Amino acid sequence: MPLSEQFNAAAEKVKSLTKRPSDDEFLELYALFKQASVGDNDTAKPGVFDLKGKAKWEAWNKQKGKSSDAAQQEYITFVEGLVAKYA
Task: Show pLDDT as tens, one digit a residue, over the chain (87 residues).
Answer: 899 999 999 999 999 999 999 999 999 999 999 999 999 999 999 999 999 999 999 999 999 999 999 999 999 999 999 999 998
Quote the CA–CA distance of 87 and 41 in Å, as a whole number: 30
Q: Going from the N-terminus, what domains does the chain have, and what CATH number goes with each?
A: 3-86 (1.20.80.10)
The predicted structure's pLDDT at residue 71 = 98
* CB burial string 3-36: b at 16+ within 10 A, e below: eeeebeebbeebeeeeeebeeeebbbbebbbbbb
The predicted structure's pLDDT at residue 87 = 80
Rg of the chain in Å (alpha carbons) = 13
